Amino acid sequence: MIEVINFSKHYGDFTAVDHLSFSIGRGEIFGFIGPNGAGKSTTIRFLATLLRPTAGEGRIAGHSVTEDPMAVRRVIGFMPDDFGVYDGMKVWEFLDFFAVAYEIPRAARRRVIGEVLELLDLSHKRDDYVNGLSKGMKQRLCLAKTLVHDPPVLILDEPASGLDPRARLEMKALLVELKKMGKTILVSSHILSELADFCTSIGVIERGRLLAAGSIRDIQRQIRTHRVLKVELTEGETDRAAAILQADGSIRSVEAYGRSITAEFHGGDEDMGRLLSRLMGDGVPVRSFAEEPLSLEEVFMMITKGIVN
Amino acid sequence: MWMRENPVLNRELLTTLRSPRSFVLQFAYVAVLGILVYFYWPAGVDDESRMVGPGVAKRLYDIFFLGQFCLVALMAPTFAAGSITGEKERKTYEMLLVSPLKPHTIVIGKLLSSLSYLVILILSSLPLMILCYLLGGLLLSEIARSYVVLILAAGTFGLLSLACSSAFSRTSSALVVSYLVVLPLAAVSVALTRADDPSTRDFASVAVLPPICLMIWTVVGIVVNGRLLRPTDVGGQGGGVVDEEEEMKYAIGVVIDREAFPDRLFAPAKRTDLMPDGTNPVLDKELRSEIFSQGTLMLRVVIQVSMLLSIPLMAGLLFLRSDLAGYYVAYVVTFNLLVGPVFSAGSITQERERQTLALLLTTLLTPGRIVLAKLWAAMRVSTVLTFLLTEQILLAYIMLPELRNRFWTLGVFLLIIAVTCLTTSAAGLMCSALARRTSTALVLSYMTLLALFVLPIGVTWYLQGVSEDLHIAPGALAVLRITSPYAAAASVPMHTFQGADRWTTGNLEVVAPPSAIFPGGVDIPVWACFLVACPLIGLLFAGVACLVFRWKWWRAGDGL
């Protein structure tokens, strides 16, 4: 649905994005992650037809971003990272303005505006002035604006930046809802925990270069040199349990804190079962025994430290 | 603390005066003045074509003094009106207010920093003015007096503009209101200091102007100080919402009623339901929502001040001396020159500044629809406001017999005003597409329009001094003025003043000013040339605006 082919953008001597290529399939949610200034917004603005590339091409739903921007604008809903609102307009007027700008006939507009207000939980703010809304409400309003023409592709640049924790969770729930509606979503963020739960794939960008792209599981598998086992005990027999684990050939190192033990594990699933039976057989009071997944933060840190590539 | 350790002053001086642009501008300024002197300077014995007449030094002095006075009246607001609104627009105003700096330190820092460059420019002309003195016919005291007046004017105009800057939230609003206050004061000051009698001139310059200026400085200083000490709500949550009805309750003077004529022409009532199909949403937004988005204060002040000024001008230029009706038209044109760009120079830059341009560009609206809507909205507002001042002309033509018989001149005057409205709005729009900030766009549009409207008159005036030497006919000089609405208004043939018996006279003696004589001997009145040339220039500006918007912004620019 979205394809970026060898996109580069230079500002004088500075290279903002360097030969970036990735693609996003229909119905996917692609999390675009990277530190501030990595080139996320540059790439997103290029896809939103707002930035001329130095080289490369982008295609959305088969339309060229550079050759046919009008066709692209028809199929995308774009929410910039920093945006303003028109002064002196009410919420419904703001949405009506964009609905007319997207050529939605008057007969359908009333229904569409009602639906997006309902979806974004803004119905009670319908007659409020937009420049009086809180930051969270403005973010919702902007998302509502991107949905008025029911685009199949959503390009959202840092949709949750600057929001309080509650608004952040609500924004996350909204994106999950949009995913259920079958939208293809490209969403960027530098706060990784925002994306981990619902992204079907991610792209990691730093200094204008794509370091890794694919599903979170694939990337985790790609970068993982070992697995991490976490064992929790009900009573304080930590030293004995640590000694049992240390003695096993699949364990390289063990660290114990209070009643929990973390071990670097280099075996398969059978080895893991064997280890658990052994602990139980030796009468160690195990409360939980599980592999600790790598968080997106850890994945990101490992990638950007150069472990991959 | 006020001067040497004033961080506001130091910061502004460092950022403005050390830029290469400042140096280049000063060099260009002195070079232009130098060229003006050079062509008036007597040649050596070998070349007898250039002679020093008794009036040459006086003419040069007039050009220098009036030119620099215009510069002060035009540039002081440009520098000072954005000094506090600029902080507001950059969202650094709160930081400045909560700092331990005392309000008067901020005011003095802002004032001195905005005027320092202007004062340096004025003083850099002093050596050239001394050259004029060497030509003879001028007193040193005359030159000293003119510099005192210039410096006093710079301080007063700067402080008044600073007061406007502290009252408004946008530079464009502060700038236009500053001009409306400053320009009438400038006209009065020039009239006082250029009286024919030298003793009156000296008395006005030394005994009248300084105390009046001191009084204005004190009062305005206290007002601005108080405003900085106890600021009104600065950008709080919901603070940006303007409640028109609430604001109108406390409004003094003009009350704008969006339902009533003629107010609904420039500010149609807000919609209560969805837009009909086929509406241009940008035009609808501009007219119904954006016009009062910063409050109604600017519009009310503009209407009040312009109406107030029109009363004495109407009395003097229409009813007492109806042969000077063209000068009243010049006032209306000046009003439009000030107000026209205000509504169009922010059309595109403001979308960038408040970060709505990306939202607008990713819709299906074509650049042509966006730009035309912006032009139409801006032109409609400024044209309606300008034509409010033409009621007085209509009244004069209905009431005065000497005008009533020559109704076609009314048509010409109204056409001149209408064409000016188109050009000023289009120039503002073009500069808005070219510049990155509204304040830059506004200043750029004023410069463009002054170059088009006023500069030709100045050039003609200067050339008249050497026209005999260079064998330039008055008709050829008139060609230079065809882009100026002032020249066009003055070129409409009017009757001669016949004293008190003019009411009874049946036969009017009409004098036609010199026509423009084009190469090949084609002879066309200046106003007719203007009515053809100026709309073409306006359309050219609009076309450039459209193309620049399309290629710079709409068709994927290099970043918003």
At residue B553, does pLDDT exceed 80? no
Report the residue from A50, A97, A106 with minimal CB separation from B362.
A50
Percent of chain B at pLDDT > 70 equals 85
CB burial of A29-57 (b: ≥16 within 10 Å; e: otherwise) equals bbbbbbeeebbbbbbbbbbbbbbebeebb
CB contact under 8 A, A73 and B362: yes
For residue A75, give Cα distances in angstroms to A49, A62, A99, B247, B453.
12, 10, 14, 42, 48
Count of A–B CB contacts within 8 Å? Answer: 114
CA distance B240 to B178: 23
pLDDT at residue B507, as a whole number: 64
Nearest to B193 by CA among B181, B205, B179: B205
What is the residue whose two structure tokens read 């890794």? A212
Q: Write out chain B residues lying below 8 Å of A96, CB-based.
A: 274-275, 281
At residue B38, does pLDDT exceed 50? yes
Answer with the residue of higher pLDDT: B87 or A293.
B87
- State whether residue B51 sits within 8 Å of chain A by CB: no
Residue pLDDT, tens place only, B436-472:
888 889 889 999 999 999 999 988 888 887 766 667 7
pLDDT at residue A309, as a whole number: 41
Q: How many CA atoms lie within 13 A of A111 on its CB side?
A: 6
CA distance B289 to B270: 7
pLDDT at residue B234, as a whole number: 53
Report the residue from B275, B289, B556 with minimal CB separation from A89.
B289
Q: Mean pLDDT across chain B, nearest whole number?
A: 82
Report the residue from B282, B355, B365 with minimal CB separation from A83.
B355
Q: Minimum mean pLDDT among B82-86, B104-108, B396-400, B498-502: which range?
A: B498-502
pLDDT at residue A227, as a whole number: 79
pLDDT at residue A193, as a whole number: 67
Distance from CA of A157 to the nearest CA of B (A): 12
Q: Write out chain B residues lying below 8 Å of A45, CB-based.
A: 358, 559-560
Residue pLDDT, tens place only, A165-207:
887 888 888 888 888 888 899 998 776 666 777 788 888 888 8
Nearest to B158 by CA among B117, B99, B203: B117
CA distance A64 to A46: 11
Query: To probe the interface with A, which of B279, B353, B362 has the most A CB atoms within 10 Å?
Result: B362
At residue B333, does pLDDT exceed 90? yes
Nearest to B6 by CA among B135, B112, B141: B112
In this predicted complex, what is the ipTM? Answer: 0.78
- Is B431 within 8 Å of B445 (Cβ atoms)? yes
CA distance A259 to A233: 5
pLDDT at residue B54, as a whole number: 57
CA distance B209 to A108: 67
pLDDT at residue B39, as a whole number: 77
Residue pLDDT, tens place only, B134-155:
777 777 888 888 888 899 999 9
At residue B304, does pLDDT exceed 90? no
DSSP assignment of B416-460 = HHHHHHHHHHHHHHHHHHH-SSHHHHHHHHHHHHHHHHTHHHHHH
Question: Based on the number of CB atoms within 10 Å of its own CB, is B66 exposed (0-12), middle (13-18) or buried (19 or more)?
Answer: middle
pLDDT at residue A307, as a whole number: 46
CB contact under 8 A, B556 and A105: no
- State whether residue B284 sits within 8 Å of chain A by CB: yes
**Structure tokens belonging to residue A293:** 């997944």
What is the residue whose two structure tokens read 């005291």? B141
Residue pLDDT, tens place only, B1-15:
556 667 777 776 767
Cβ atoms < 10 Å from Cβ of B344: 31
At residue B48, does pLDDT exceed 60? no
CB contact under 8 A, B556 and A49: yes
pLDDT at residue B45, as a whole number: 47
Total residues found in chain A within this entry: 309
What is the residue whose two structure tokens read 């992204």? A199
CB contact under 8 A, A70 and B290: no
Report the residue from A80, A98, A129 with minimal CB separation from B358.
A80
How would you write the pLDDT of chain A (309 residues) with one tens digit per residue? 889 999 998 888 888 888 889 888 888 889 888 887 888 889 999 999 888 888 999 999 989 998 888 899 999 999 998 888 887 889 999 999 999 999 999 989 999 999 999 888 889 989 888 888 888 888 889 989 999 999 999 999 888 877 778 878 888 888 888 888 888 999 987 766 667 777 888 888 888 888 888 887 777 777 666 778 888 888 777 888 888 888 888 888 888 888 888 888 888 888 888 888 888 888 888 888 888 777 777 777 777 765 444
> In this structure, which amino acid lies at residue A299?
V
CA distance B427 to B422: 9
Cβ atoms < 10 Å from Cβ of A66: 17
pLDDT at residue B202, as a whole number: 77
Mean pLDDT is highest, among B109-118, B242-251, B506-515, for B109-118
* Mean local confidence (pLDDT), B518-525: 84
Residues of A near B (Cβ–Cβ under 8 Å) read 11, 45-46, 48-52, 66, 69-70, 73-74, 76, 78, 80, 82-89, 93, 96-98, 100-103, 105-106, 109-110, 113, 129, 131-132, 134, 142, 145
CA distance B404 to B224: 49
Report the residue from A83, A102, A109 with minimal CB separation from B356.
A83
pLDDT at residue B246, as a whole number: 65
Q: Write out chain B residues lying below 8 Å of A114, CB-based.
A: none
pLDDT at residue A246, as a whole number: 85
CB contact under 8 A, A101 and B365: yes
- Is A132 within 8 Å of B242 (Cβ atoms)? no
CB contact under 8 A, B238 and A132: yes
pLDDT at residue A308, as a whole number: 43
> In this structure, which amino acid lies at residue A218?
D
